[in-house]
Copies of this chain bind each other. A is one copy, B any other.
Amino acid sequence: MRFSFQTQKKCCQTLARVGVWHTPHGPVETPRFMPVGTLATVKGLTPAQLQTTGAQMVLANTYHLHLQPGETLIEKAGGIHQFMGWKGPILTDSGGFQVFSLSELRHIREIGVTFRSPRDGKIIELTPERSIHIQNTLGADVIMAFDECPPGKADYSTVAAATERTYRWLERCIDAHQRPQDQALFGIVQGGIYPELRISAAKSLIDFDLPGYAIGGVSVGEEPALIREIVQITAPLLPATKPRYLMGVGTYREMAITIASGIDLFDCVIPTRFGRHGTALVRGERWNLKNFQFREDFGPLDADCPCYTCQTFSRAYLNHLVRSQEMLGYTLLSLHNITELVRFTQRIREAILGDRFIEEFGHWLN
């Protein structure tokens, strides 16, 4: 078995847990934050720099890679690991989220979704079979089921219909999957803001006995309280022997709260997007490094952070780089921000192992 999840420790006061998810490209120690490398690059960082952040599994986006450079080219390059120079585990999403949220002129039918390519205007059809085929071709360790993502505020019947379709599409994804020995297919719990739909979706999914499960559709502009409620209802229904991945969430509080409900994996574009806008994540806060207050601040961004940025440069230098719109500023802040979020989940991991989760992270759980 090339994929297995071992629980090393359960929290004595919450549903939090510490585990190891074994993949063909190495282990992922959970709970853990995963950075996003949309176009087979975590923006601004070399794989060598990325490795110093403590990141283990990295995401890439099927939709974007299908458009540029195309999965066939990546296959010819020897697969996505070889292509982007990342030797650790990689996860690709299904492309569904981008098609439903970014594409214009999309048209949804039972067979799948058609949309106009933003690159060359051609009509593209994405179906469960095609998404899995693209992901099989890309060759990531974890691939995601192609699901229908209704808008966050969709009414009950719309979400119910999308959730039903998501099961039918999952069956087609499983049938289409050609490389189950090399690539673990995760199912996605949808159901919008409706607890009963989330519960029935989770219960239906576990019958498929998949190697891992994700909770989707909670990240985009949703209220933190809603994320918390949905995860509290859903996560405990998912099998304890499989990893649980909360898609698109990467804020301190939501990670802490949902780890307490049993979530193991997170991803979010925040650390690199903030980095490119001159914002640093420091001990739970967001600092705009362009601010005048940092101009003559010669201390490190965070004296406790082991990252290259904090170990080498001052806030004043980062302020100078950001004010001067120097590329290095964005790279150094992205490097720090990813390290910060990975470390946050690593520290929670250590706390759970030492029976100190509530003691050390209780202030995040309110």
Residues of A within 8 A of B (CB): 39-41, 43-49, 68-69, 73, 76-78, 83-85, 295-296, 298, 308, 312-314, 316-317, 319-321, 323-324, 326-328, 330-332
Contact = CB atoms under 8 A, between A and B. Distances in A.
Contact of A298 (B68, B76, B331, B332): B76
A41 B328 contact: yes
A336 to B, nearest CB: 12
Contacts of A39: 320-321, 324, 326
A308 B47 CA distance: 10
Nearest to A47: B312
Nearest to A313: B85
A48 B109 CA distance: 52
A77 to B, nearest CB: 6
A73 B327 contact: no
Given A46-B332, A73-B316, A83-B320, 15 more contacts: A39-B326, A40-B317, A43-B328, A44-B328, A46-B331, A48-B312, A68-B320, A69-B319, A73-B320, A76-B296, A76-B298, A83-B316, A83-B317, A85-B313, A327-B327
Contacts of A68: 320, 323-324
B76 A295 contact: no
B77 A317 contact: yes
Nearest 3 Cβ contacts at the A-B interface:
A44-B327, A69-B320, A41-B328
